[in-house]
Amino acid sequence: MRINCPHCGQRSNDEFSYLGDASIVRPDPAAPNANEAFYAFGYERANIAGPMQELWYHAAGCHAWLVVTRDTRNHEILDVKSAQEVALERQKAAGTAQ
């Protein structure tokens, strides 16, 4: 499997380490349902069969965190973005929603 790092280009997956689901967002600790939300944040994970957003770290390369969209059925990689870019987009989207 090769991952197209937005900084380095195509690299073998032995340069990367895997963290897990990239769609999980830390809940608001002040929310009334914070207890349940943090339980889900810490423990509940979907076992997705299909395209999934995942966090990968380019450990042996540029040391950037990436959000990789990978089809878990055949390892096809559909999209790679820098995690920083994704986080900024999320912040922006959250800001507009408020």
Partner 1 sequence: MSELANHTNTAHASDLIERNDVTVTNIAARRGARASLDERARATFGVSLPSTPKAVEAGGALIVWAGPDQWLIIQKDEAGRDHYSELAKTFNGLASLVDVTESRTIFRISQARPSPVLSRSMGIDFHEDAFKPGDVAITHVSHLGVIVWRLPDGTAYDFACARTYSRDFGDWLRKAKA
Q: Which stretches of the chain bind partner 1, using CB under 8 A?
A: 7-9, 11-12, 14-15, 60-64, 82, 84
CB of 57 to partner 1, least distance (A): 12
Q: What pairs with residue 67 in β-bridges?
A: 55, 81
- Closest to partner 1 by CB, 27 vs 61, is 61
- Closest to partner 1 by CB, 12 vs 33, is 12
CB of 48 to partner 1, least distance (A): 28
Where does residue 61 rank: exposed (0-12), middle (13-18), buried (19+ CB within 10 A)? middle
- Closest to partner 1 by CB, 11 vs 69, is 11
Report the alpha-carbon distance of residue 84 to residue 42 in Å, rounded: 21
Q: How many Cβ atoms are within 10 Å of 68's Cβ, its own excluded?
A: 22
